[in-house]
Amino acid sequence: MTAQEPEQQPSGPAQPGGAQQGTPQVPGPSPVAGLAAGYAAKAGLHRTHDGRVDVLRSAGGVQGIAESIVPGLVFLVAFTITRELTLSLVAALASAAVFTVVRLMQRRPLTQALAGVVGVGISAWLANTTGKAEDFYLPGFFTNAAYILAMVISIAVKWPVAGLLFGFIRNEGVEWRKNPDRVRAYRLGTWIIVAVLALRLIVQVPLYLMGTDGLAALATTRLIMGAPLYILGVWVAWLVTRPAAAEPEAGADQTA
């Protein structure tokens, strides 16, 4: 939406910085609002053509979901068949590297694939160092806990993450912070995402503590509670944070 042009005023003497006397100064955007918009733009959320959140695309699409699932699945299958930790770790790393090559061939951004390779590499290094196959999944717990902490802090400081992300999708910017009802809705939406992340830890940490005996169940729940659960959580958070439908004003259809 563009602002209407002001009526022309007689020019006055030039002021320092090029502004003319009598010209109203329009305040620039808030630095915090700019940071929020930048964070939302880089968070990977996408709109559909009708202005809703595109959950599948926001999760990386089919290829992005495969990049997050396949290395862990390859590791589980290889270790279950061979019981060779080193071989299984190499197979997982190789599968992650394949996705990077595929993106190179497609000339698509490498950020997600490279992040996957780095993540698998750290997991493989840790499992190889300790000699425990279950430690392949340990870094994910710390990442999950870090996200929970960041989201809880965002709620405490009244900048809930759901508001930053969905406000960007809905073209609300950060104006929703001026409406207590919208702030409460976005706090609830953020708590829903926190609950999804916390559920992962509640289910998976006990399986990790079982050692090799719980490896298959840990790997399976990691797959199920990864992208699929994330998509469900984002979708539910989107639904509960929908703005209330505006009621038509009385007499709005009357002519003056």
pLDDT at 246: 52
- Contact residues for 36 (Cβ-Cβ < 8 A; gap 6+): 159, 164, 167, 168, 173, 174
Low-confidence ranges of the chain (pLDDT < 50): 1-29, 32, 41-42, 247-252, 254-256
Q: Are 237 and 52 in contact (CB under 8 A)?
A: no
CA–CA separation, 105 vs 51, rounded Å?
Answer: 31
- In sequence order, the β-bridge partners of residue 53 are 47
Single-letter amino acid code for the residue at 5:
E
Residue written as token pair 């071989």: 87
Q: pLDDT digits over 143-188, tens only? A: 999 999 999 999 999 999 999 888 878 888 888 999 999 999 999 9
pLDDT at 180: 92
Q: pLDDT digits over 194-222, tens only? A: 999 999 999 999 999 999 899 999 999 99
Task: Give the pTM.
Answer: 0.71
pLDDT at 94: 92
pLDDT at 67: 78
pLDDT at 185: 95
Q: Which two tokens stand for residue 69?
A: 């699932």
Residue written as token pair 């944070």: 241
